[in-house]
Amino acid sequence: NAGVMQNPRHLVRRRGQEARLRCSPMKGHSHVYWYRQLPEEGLKFMVYLQKENIIDESGMPKERFSAEFPKEGPSILRIQQVVRGDSAAYFCASSPPGQRSGANVLTFGAGSRLTVL
Amino acid sequence: KNEVEQSPQNLTAQEGEFITINCSYSVGISALHWLQQHPGGGIVSLFMLSSGKKKHGRLIATINIQEKHSSLHITASHPRDSAVYICAVRSSDYGGSQGNLIFGKGTKLSVKP
At A17-52, the pLDDT tens digits run 999 999 999 988 889 999 999 988 889 999 999 989
B105 touches chain A (CB under 8 A): yes
Where does the pLDDT of residue A103 fall: very low under 50, low under 70, confident under 90, or very high at 90 and above?
very low
Cis peptide before B113 (omega within 30 of 0): no
B57 touches chain A (CB under 8 A): no
Say how many CB pairs under 8 Å bridge A and B. Answer: 74
Q: What integer is the mean pLDDT of B80-102?
A: 87
Where does the pLDDT of residue A10 fall: very low under 50, low under 70, confident under 90, or very high at 90 and above?
very high
Residue to substitute from A26, A54, A58, A106, interface B, most B β-carbons within 10 A: A106
List of residues 6+ apart from A94 with CB closer than 8 A: A4, A23, A25, A26, A29, A31, A32, A33, A106, A107
DSSP-based helix, strand, coil % in chain B, nearest 5: 5, 60, 40
CA distance B85 to chain A (A): 11
Give the pLDDT of residue A102: 40
Give the pLDDT of residue A116: 97
Residue B70 has pLDDT above 90, yes or no: yes
Q: What integer is the mean pLDDT of A76-90?
A: 97
Are residues B74 and B81 in contact, defined by beta-carbon separation less than 8 angstroms? Answer: yes
